[in-house]
């Protein structure tokens, strides 16, 4: 059984194919581990909000992922399976259909193992905003796993799932991957359909992967990309996603932006980052400074744009169509008000108020219009930088995993966690976080960002880093 846990998803697929592992053993090994964590509630890691009772049935399950168990962030709609986006307001909601990203993984043979805990409506950087309790970091249970895809990240790091899907609006795949010592990929905006993802900020939300290694990220992404008639912002990916193979970085130009690699980043994180750059040079890469002049304004723009879109997206939760409805309301407006009062947590209410304010007449131009102009500048900065270098490197998060409760009283301190990841989200470009060492015994993430649709080259570059850095994540396995 412990041998099974050593396998990446790609290796497990190979073991299934050559008959050295059975689908039943693989699925049941993970299912039992996930179910035990779920049964332990907050005494465990609290990674899951739902765990399958048995492997998916059906003689016709086939495809490149046949028999591979998959954990999926709660906010992906899954037909007949609770999909609550970490919120009380969607408690018990059973969608009538499955999100395209999940459906494509299932069509390739993957089986739904579990739904993972997350910050409510993906708003947060620590998983402490979940209505279903915080997730714990398997490296240190007194610390957060990051967020908002914290359940997915902790589950993969702990060996409770071979791999998982997450979503990233401003860093929610990359930052928890960094804090849990695994690989997190946010693809180009539009590369994977948003259909069936419970929306937070539609112009930023992007599905992606949390995996043990870079090859697994490529394996999953390859199944999920492509135009979907149900999402008008989805795009046909210009080429097939390939498994990465690069071992060297000869001739690759890597840009390091001063704006995202200095002030505000913990010394131990910068040390690991510096060591990764040194390794890259040994592998043949050239390191060059690049300018992202507007990146320091990314967080401010994001915290106008994302709440503005959220205030609109979350208007649909009114007690009429989905999930919970406040009881004993005398009339309609009271029913709406009480449902939203009882159903939303504090952070969600804060964002709805911020967003509604930013969009209100008279303020629209001062806040939303301005933030959109900053967003354009940020995208232009990246275009300029990518004329000089192939990829941009930064630490993924400014700190290692922090303690549970450490930042809950200070929303601004919490928002600062996304300092290095938000610029790429605003620009819609792909970025990956891979583990690049330990600081104070906790994982540090290296973020590599590339131009839109550069995923194949990005994954190859990340693969060369991964081989050279040889990070050992086994200490997190439970």
**CA 277 from centre of chain:** 24
Query: Checking DSSP bridges between strand 391-395 and strand 183-186, what pairing results, if any?
Result: unpaired
Eight-state DSSP code of residue 249: -
Give catalytic status of residue 125 as yes or no. Answer: no
- Cβ of residue 170: shortest distance to ligand GLN, in angstroms? 3
Give, in order, the Cα–Cα distances in Å from 271 to each of 256, 260, 261, 314, 440: 14, 14, 11, 41, 12
Q: In angstroms, rounded to a whole number, what is the distance separating the alpha carbons of residues 377 and 292?
A: 9
Residue 185 and residue 173 in contact, taking contact as beta carbons nearer than 8 Å: yes
What does residue 245 show for φ and ψ, rounded to 5 degrees?
Answer: -140, -10
Cβ atoms of 145 and 417 closer than 8 Å: no
Asked about 172 being catalytic, the answer comes back as: yes
Q: Toward ligand GLN, which CB reaches closer, 123 or 392?
A: 123
- In the bound state with ligand GLN, the residue whose beta carbon lies nearer, of 336 and 419, is 419
Q: Please say if 148 is a catalytic residue.
A: yes
Instruction: Select which of 130, 172, 234, 433 is catalytic.
Output: 172
SS3 149: coil
Nearer to ligand GLN, 200 or 453 (CB): 200
Q: Which residue number, 123 or 335, has a Cβ lying nearer to ligand GLN? A: 123
Within 140-266, where are the H helices? 150-158, 174-180, 214-224
C-beta of 149: minimal distance to ligand GLN in Å?
A: 8
From the candidates 85, 125, 148, 454, give the one annotated as an active-site residue. Answer: 148
In the bound state with ligand GLN, the residue whose beta carbon lies nearer, of 12 and 179, is 179
Q: Which is nearer to ligand GLN, 169 or 396 (CB)?
A: 169
Nearest residue to ligand GLN on Cβ basis: 172
Nearest of 218, 236, 219 to residue 227 by alpha carbon: 236
Query: What's the CA gap between 462 and 194, in Å, rounded?
Result: 25
Residue ranges in contact with ligand GLN by CB under 6 A: 122-125, 148, 168-172, 200, 306, 418
Q: Which pairs count as long-range contacts for 11-18, CB under 8 Å and 24+ apart, including other chains?
A: 12/67, 12/68, 12/162, 13/64, 13/65, 13/66, 13/67, 13/68, 13/219, 16/66, 16/67, 16/68
Hey, which residues does 287 pair with through a beta bridge? 254
Query: Minimum distance from CB of 373 to ligand GLN (Å)?
Result: 20
| CA distances from residue 352 to 123, 297, 344, 395 in whole angstroms, order as listed | 11, 21, 10, 30
Enumerate the active-site residues: 73, 148, 172
């Amino acid at each position: 059984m412990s041998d099974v846990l050593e396998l990446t998803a790609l290796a497990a697929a190979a073991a299934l194919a050559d008959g050295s592992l059975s689908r039943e053993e693989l699925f049941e090994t993970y299912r039992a581990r996930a179910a035990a964590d779920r049964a332990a509630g907050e005494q465990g890691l609290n990674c899951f909000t739902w765990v399958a009772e048995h492997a998916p049935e059906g003689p016709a399950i086939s495809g490149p992922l046949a028999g591979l168990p998959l954990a999926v962030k709660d906010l992906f709609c899954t037909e007949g399976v609770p999909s609550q986006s970490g919120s009380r307001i969607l408690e018990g909601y059973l969608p009538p259909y499955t999100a395209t990203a999940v459906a494509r993984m299932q069509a390739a043979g993957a089986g739904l193992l579990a739904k993972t805990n997350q910050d409510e409506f993906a708003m947060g950087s620590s998983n402490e905003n979940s209505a279903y309790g915080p997730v714990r970091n398997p490296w240190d249970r007194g610390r957060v796993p990051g967020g908002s895809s914290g359940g997915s990240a902790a589950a993969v790091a702990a060996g409770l799932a071979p791999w998982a899907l997450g979503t990233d609006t401003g860093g929610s795949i990359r930052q928890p991957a960094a804090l849990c010592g695994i690989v997190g990929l946010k693809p180009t905006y539009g590369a994977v359909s948003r259909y069936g993802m419970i929306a937070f900020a539609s112009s930023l939300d992007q599905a992606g992967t949390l995996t043990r290694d870079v090859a697994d990220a490529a394996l999953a992404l390859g199944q999920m990309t492509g135009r979907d008639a149900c999402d008008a912002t989805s795009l046909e990916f210009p080429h097939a996603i390939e498994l990465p193979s690069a071992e060297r970085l000869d001739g690759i130009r890597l840009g390091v932006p001063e704006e995202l690699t200095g002030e505000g980043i913990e010394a131990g994180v910068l040390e690991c980052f510096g060591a990764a750059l040194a390794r890259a040079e040994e592998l043949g890469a050239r390191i060059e400074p690049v300018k992202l002049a507007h990146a320091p304004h990314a967080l401010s723009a994001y915290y106008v744009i994302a709440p503005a879109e959220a205030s609109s997206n979350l208007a649909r939760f009114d007690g009429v169509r989905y999930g919970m409805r406040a009881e004993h309301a005398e009339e309609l407006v009271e029913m709406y008000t009480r449902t939203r009062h009882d159903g939303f947590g504090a952070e969600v209410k804060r964002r709805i108020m911020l967003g509604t304010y930013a969009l209100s007449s008279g303020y629209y131009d001062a806040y939303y219009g301005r933030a959109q102009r900053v967003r354009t500048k940020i995208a232009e900065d990246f275009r300029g930088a990518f004329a000089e270098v192939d990829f941009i490197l930064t630490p993924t998060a400014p700190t290692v995993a922090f303690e549970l409760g450490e930042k809950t009283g200070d929303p601004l301190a919490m928002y600062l966690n996304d300092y290095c990841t938000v610029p790429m989200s605003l620009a819609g470009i792909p970025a990956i976080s891979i583990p690049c060492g330990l600081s104070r015994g906790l994982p540090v993430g290296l973020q590599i960002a590339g131009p839109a649709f550069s995923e194949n080259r990005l994954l190859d570059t990340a693969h060369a880093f991964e081989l050279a850095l040889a990070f050992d994540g086994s200490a997190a396995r439970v």
